[in-house]
Homo-oligomer: A and B are copies of this chain.
Amino acid sequence: MFNNIFKKVILTSIWFLLSVSTTASSSDVQSDMLVKKQRFEMDNFVTFGGKTIKHVAVGYESYGQLNANKDNVILVPHYFSANSHAAGKYHVDDTQAGYWDAIIGPDKAIDTNQYYVISVDSLVNLNANDPNTITTGPASIDPDTGKPYGMTFPVVTMRDFVNVQKAVLESLGIKKLHAVVGASMGSMQAIEWAASYPDWVPRMISIVGTGQIDAWGTSMLEQWAIPVRLDPNWKNGDYYQSTPPTEGLISALMFITQDALTPEFFNQMGDSPAVSQQAGQAAALQDINRSPAIVNWLRELAKKRVALMDANHLLYLVRANQLFVAGQQQNLASGLQNVKAKTLFLPASNDMLLMPYLAQDAYQILKEQGKETELLPLTGPLGHLNGVQLISQQADKIKQFLAE
C-alpha cells in the first residue's frame, strides 16, 4: 500500500498522463529542454507483408547532439498510445514534458550531453489528428484515389515500424546505434531491432516489454478493437466524410487504461471522494442507464484524449501488436538466434497487460543462447504504467548499462 502523499502525486501524474495525450511526465523536475517535431518522407515503402505504400511521412524528435562519428545514437521507439515526444517541451509554457522526460535529458539516465537520442512517430500512430504527430496510416490520403485509405491501408507490423526508423536514421547518415530503449510496444520494436538488424544494435533495453504477443495477449488486444468495430459510425472504416466512431474509440481507451493499471490503483481511486464506490451507487441503483462513479471517471478521461485519435489507426496498431514475434521466425527462440546485443529487461511485477512472464521468457531464451542478458523488476502500484510513470527507480541501472 502506498501512503497518502505518494498517492496524491501518483493520482495527479496519472491524471496528466491519461488526460493530455502523450505529453506527460512524472518528473518533478520539469524539463527546460526545448524540442521540435521534424518530418521525414519516403516513397514506395514495401511492407513486411509485401504491399507497397507509395508515400510515407513520419515525424521524429531528437535530443542531444549527433557526434562526428555518428556513433552516439540511442533510439527510443514509443508505446501504443504515444508518439515520438519522449522528452522535453515544444514551448517553455507547455504544462507537461515528453513521457520519459524523467530519464532523457542533460545528466539524466539517458544523458543528452553524451548521446543523440531520437524517436520516430510510428506508422498508423494512434494520435493521427494531433498536430504534433506526423504519421501515415488509414487516415492518410491514398495517392491513387485522393481519398483516405481506410481499411485498404496494408496491415503493418513491428518490422515495418523498425524499417521506417531505419530509413530515418540512414537519411541522417547513421549506420549503427549505441542502444535501443523502449517501453511496452516500444520494447517490441527494440527487440525486433536487435533480432532483425543485429549489427546495428549492441545494447537493448526492454521496459515492461515482451519478445512476442501470445494467444492471451492477442485476445486481450482484440478487446480494444471490438468496440470500434461495433460502433455504427465505424462503417467498415469509411467514416472520414461522416461522424467518426467516437463512442467505440472512447470504450477502447477505457479498456486500455484499465489494462495498463492495477486493482491497487483503481481501488485507491475508488477511495477518493470524487469517484468513490458510494458516490455513484445510489444513482446506479435507481437507473440502469447511470454508471457507477469509477466508470464515469474512466469515460471522462478517455473523452479528453479521443479527439486527437483515429479509430482505424487503433485497429491497425492492435493488429501490428497481435502479429508480433521478435525476428518474425517460426518461434521466439529462432527469432532471437541472431541477436548480438547485450540486453536488459525491466518488467513490472504487477503488470496486468504485458505480464512479467513475457519478459522472463525472452530473457530465459537469450540466456540459454549464451547471450549477456539481465532482468530486474520494476515496482510500484501502477502495473504496466510503472514503466512510464515510475521509471526513475531504475535510472542508475539504465545509465550504467548504457555506459558499459
- A residues sitting closer than 8 Å to B (CB atoms) are 48-49, 151, 153, 155, 157, 214-216, 218-220, 222-223, 226-227, 230-232, 247-248, 251, 254-255, 258, 262-263, 266-267, 269-270, 275, 277-278, 281, 284-289, 291-292, 294-295, 298, 315-316, 319, 322-323, 325, 330, 355, 357
Contacts and interface: CB of A to CB of B under 8 A. Distances in A.
Nearest to A276: B215
- Chain A binding site: helix, strand, loop or mixed by DSSP? helix
Nearest to A319: B288
A266 B227 contact: no
Contacts of A157: 285
Given A227-B227, A277-B218, A288 B263 contact: no
B295 A219 contact: yes
5 contacts: A155-B287, A214-B266, A215-B270, A219-B294, A227-B251
A157 B267 CA distance: 21
Contacts of A286: 49, 155
Contacts of A319: 284, 288
A278 B330 contact: yes
Copies of this chain assembled into the complex? 2
Contacts of A281: 323
Contact of A230 (B230, B262, B323, B357): B230
B214 A263 contact: yes
Contact of A215 (B284, B288, B294): B294
Contacts of A48: 285
A214 to B, nearest CB: 5
A231 B262 CA distance: 28
A292 B322 contact: yes
A355 B263 contact: yes
A266 B216 contact: yes
Nearest to A358: B263
B214 A230 contact: no
Contacts of A255: 223
A98 to B, nearest CB: 28
Contact of A218 (B214, B223, B294, B325): B294
B215 A267 contact: yes
B227 A284 contact: no
Nearest to A291: B222
A59 to B, nearest CB: 23
A368 to B, nearest CB: 17
A176 to B, nearest CB: 29
A325 B215 CA distance: 34
B323 A284 contact: yes
Contacts of A251: 226-227, 230
Given A215-B270, A218-B292, A155 B230 contact: no
A216 B263 contact: yes
Contacts of A247: 230
Nearest to A252: B226
A185 B357 CA distance: 30
B316 A222 contact: no
A247 to B, nearest CB: 6
A219 B147 CA distance: 38
A166 to B, nearest CB: 20
A277 B231 CA distance: 28
A295 B222 contact: yes
A362 to B, nearest CB: 15
Contacts of A230: 227, 230-232, 247-248, 251
Nearest to A51: B286
A316 B288 contact: yes
A223 B251 CA distance: 8
